[in-house]
Amino acid sequence: MTRRTMVKQEPKEVRVFAPATVANVACGYDVLGFAINEPGDEVVVRHSDKPGLRITKITGDDGKLPKTVEGNTAGVAALDLLRHLGMTDRGIEMEIHKKMPFGSGLGSSAASAVAGVYAVNKLIGEPLSKLQLLPFAMTGEASADGAYHADNVGPSLLGGIVFIRSNQELDIAQLPVPKNLYAAVVHPDIEILTKVAREILPKEIPLENATQQIGNLGGLICGLIQEDYGMISRSIHDVIAEPRRQKLIPEFYKAKRSALANGALGFSISGAGPSVFALCEGKDTAKKVAAAVSKVFTDAGLGNQQHVSPINKNGVHVI
Amino acid sequence: MTRRTMVKQEPKEVRVFAPATVANVACGYDVLGFAINEPGDEVVVRHSDKPGLRITKITGDDGKLPKTVEGNTAGVAALDLLRHLGMTDRGIEMEIHKKMPFGSGLGSSAASAVAGVYAVNKLIGEPLSKLQLLPFAMTGEASADGAYHADNVGPSLLGGIVFIRSNQELDIAQLPVPKNLYAAVVHPDIEILTKVAREILPKEIPLENATQQIGNLGGLICGLIQEDYGMISRSIHDVIAEPRRQKLIPEFYKAKRSALANGALGFSISGAGPSVFALCEGKDTAKKVAAAVSKVFTDAGLGNQQHVSPINKNGVHVI
């Protein structure tokens, strides 16, 4: 057998879906994230006679995103890939369908970046693997929030629970997902900018807190690997970001108490918020927890959306 | 089958060996430790007609330890167990044979505490399991260094690589040990008091350093579980304690460079020092690394002892 570059035949059009993600996962600030089944973003790409990548249509953004390629993360990620491959003269039209809100804490810009780069890679015959697309998706997301990290992009691309040893070295591992692990995610209708949520964090933390967080992160990994729900539950604590960021989310502690009272293994903020999430053993518990948390926000006069999902194991895919 | 307390017949005399341990393991400050085959401490216990626990002999301590039960960790740990069982009136004689130096960073006081409580538990018919002895051994060690933590006591008792999610809640897990993982340990002849090594640590650390350490600790656990020596190697970095504590160890960075140049997966300080350790793939590499590190200390006029060992999987045992 001869060794050759496995470039597949190019399809005429590709439509993909990239899922929302929960980053940080309580004890894994900047190093952990997982994907859920929905919501997510869709991107459609097709060949064009006109050279270069162009964005021809954007829906679901309330007119907030410019149609320039540099104006949104899907375009930036795809362009970065094309540059890497020396293919910027390829004629490609891109449509972006935002199906999740901005600033929700569910990795909206990451999902767009992943969808954009994955769709274009498919359209040009899939020269790179999913894992090889990671740095381009990260560049796309970084164009929106300024930070180069993989805790949303990683799971949206690869699926599952992704652990990032180092964002700088792009050293990541997919953790095993216990079969019966479900996420209950609730997004209250307020917007928190990642920038603000980052600025609220201290530059220094007590060594004791770091040790606690290190213990819990290790505990969560052990719990996931050994399918030990007790260990998972005891590990879902965030002593670094949550105590500060909860101030940005009305009724956070009431929602947390309600989630735990209804059987959640643990509860915290999804990414930079305002979405909150609970991990649960079993779908029924996750439904009950999502409903209870939703009720807390509703009672406080806050509109909200619930999402109950197993951990999404596949990440971005063609639809 | 009826349920009953499984108390075995009491032997006349018990002689046990508890191994030395490497705590912290670079990225696992206060949450990780492993046992090596030697050195270690021996304790002998036997029944006596005179009520109460008494220490009748101590060797290898250069006369530093008092013979009162409260004067050393083996006595304190054993007494704490006897109190818990309501058996303080049992007549027991204890001999302690210190076979490792104090203040070496190899868990000397932990090994004595583990040996003491394990021996007495055996002598009185083994009412408790190894795991159940952990809190008593921790009390013993705490009597020497004031801190209640399991990163030396845990592996000396149980063997293997022990991860401690929480010292307060005593929530621990044994991590899998890759078959070919060896430790090269070198003890230079200087003494560092744990108290001094603790005081040199900052009370606060940059959030960025905490995130790096969390990433590396998670990476090390993933690497151990997946037997991924590359991931293990990339994870053995300590950005919290090592940069401060290396000042207490002459030629630390020279020794580190020499260890890495000779093929070590990683190199750092064992516990509070002054012992240093390297993790290596294979015994031959570990031997080479130990010799190279030893040479650095010798060249600097520092006497030192080398120990090359696989990870000790059994912990304390009867000899």
Interface test with B, best of A211, A227, A232 (most B CBs within 10 A): A211
Q: Phi and psi dihedrals of B238, rounded to 5?
A: -125, 110
Residues of A in contact with B235 (CB under 8 A): 165
Binding site residue list of A for ATP: 101-111
DSSP state, residue B73: H
Mutate to test the interface with A, among B211, B229, B236 (most CBs of A within 10 A): B211
Chain B residue numbers with beta carbons less than 8 Å from the beta carbon of A244 are none
pLDDT of residue A5: 55
Query: Which among A163, A201, A215 has the least Cβ separation from residue B222?
Result: A163
Residue with tokens 């670079």, as numbered in its chain? B26
The distance from CA B101 to its chain's CA centroid, rounded to whole angstroms, is 13
b/e per residue, A98-125, with b = 16+ CB within 10 A?
Answer: bbbbbbbbbbbbbbbbbbbbbbbbbbbe
The pLDDT-based confidence of A3 (bands split at 50, 70, 90) is very low
Residue A221 touches chain B, beta carbons under 8 Å? yes
A207 and B240: CB-CB below 8 Å? Answer: yes
- Please judge whether A165 and B31 are an interchain contact, meaning their C-beta atoms are less than 8 angstroms apart: no
pLDDT of residue A17: 98
Q: Which residue in A30, A203, A234 is closest to B206 by CB distance?
A: A203
Q: How confident is the model at residue B6 (pLDDT cuts 50, 70, 90)?
A: low
The pLDDT assigned to B2 comes to: 44
B108 assigned binding-site residue:
yes
Look up residue B128 and give its DSSP letter. Answer: S
Q: Which residues of chain A have a CB within 8 Å of the CB of B150?
A: none
Average pLDDT taken over every residue of chain B: 94
Distance from CA of A219 to the nearest CA of B (A): 5
List b or e across B138-151, with b for residues whose CB sees 16 or more CB atoms inside 10 angstroms: bbbbbbbbeeebbb
Alpha helices per DSSP H over A147-228: 153-158, 194-199, 207-225
Amino acid B3: pLDDT: 45
The answer to whether the annotation marks B48 as part of a ligand binding site is no
Higher pLDDT, B5 or A160: A160
Flag whether residue B216 sits within 8 Å of chain A, measured between CB atoms.
yes
What is the mean pLDDT of the segment spanning A190-210?
89
Judged by CB atoms closer than 8 Å, whether chains meet at A217 and B219 is answered as no
Hey, is the C-beta of B136 within 8 angstroms of any chain A C-beta?
no
Which DSSP string corresponds to B56-67? EEEESSTT-S-S
Say yes or no: A195 contacts chain B, CB-CB below 8 A.
no
> What percent of chain A clears pLDDT 90, i.e. is strictly above it?
87
B104 known ligand binder? yes
- Let me know if B109 is exposed, middle or buried by CB neighbors in 10 A (0-12, 13-18, 19+): buried
- pLDDT above 70 covers a percentage of chain A that reads 98
* Least CB–CB distance from A31: residue in B175, B204, B218: B218
Confidence of residue B5 (pLDDT cuts 50, 70, 90): low
Return the axis-axis angle of helices A73-84 and A130-145, rounded to nearest 10°: 130
Task: Assess A207–B contact: CB distance below 8 Å, yes or no.
Answer: yes
B225 CB within 8 Å of a chain A CB: yes
Chain A CB within 8 Å of residue B219 CB:
yes
Model confidence over B114-163: pLDDT tens digits?
999 999 999 999 999 999 999 999 999 999 877 888 999 999 999 999 99
In this predicted model, what pLDDT tens digit does every residue of B9-24 receive, in sequence order? 899 999 999 999 999 9
DSSP symbol at B237 = -
pLDDT tens digit sequence for A60-87: 988 888 899 998 999 999 999 999 999 9
End-to-end distance of chain B based on CA atoms, in angstroms?
33
- Which residues does A317 contact at the CB level (< 8 Å), separation at least 6? A16, A17
Q: Do B218 and A163 touch (CB under 8 A)?
A: yes
Q: Which residues of B touch A231 (CB under 8 A)?
A: 165, 171, 173
Give the pLDDT of residue B218.
97
Q: Are B30 and B149 in contact (CB under 8 A)?
A: yes
Can you list the domains of chain B with their CATH numbers?
A: 13-175 (3.30.230.10), 181-310 (3.30.70.890)
Q: Which residue has the higher pLDDT, B244 or A102?
A: B244
| Confidence bin at B1 (pLDDT 50/70/90) | very low
pLDDT value at A162 more than 50? yes
Backbone angles phi, psi at B123, to 5 degrees: -60, -35
Q: Could you say which of B141, B242, B251, B281 is catalytic?
A: B141
- Among A198, A284, A276, A310, smallest CA distance to A26 is for A276
Please say if the pLDDT value at position A36 is more than 60: yes
- Catalytic, B194? Answer yes
B110 labeled part of a ligand binding site: yes
Q: Name which of B119, B158, B114, B157 is nearest B137 in CA terms.
A: B114
Q: Which of B207, B208, B238 to mutate to test the interface with A (most CBs of A within 10 A)?
A: B207
| pLDDT (tens digit per residue) in A165-187 | 998 899 999 999 999 999 999 99
Summarize pLDDT for B25-42 with one digit per residue, the tens.
999 999 999 999 999 999
Interface contact A226-B173, CB threshold 8 A: yes
> Please, are residues B175 and B161 in contact by the beta-carbon 8 Å criterion?
yes
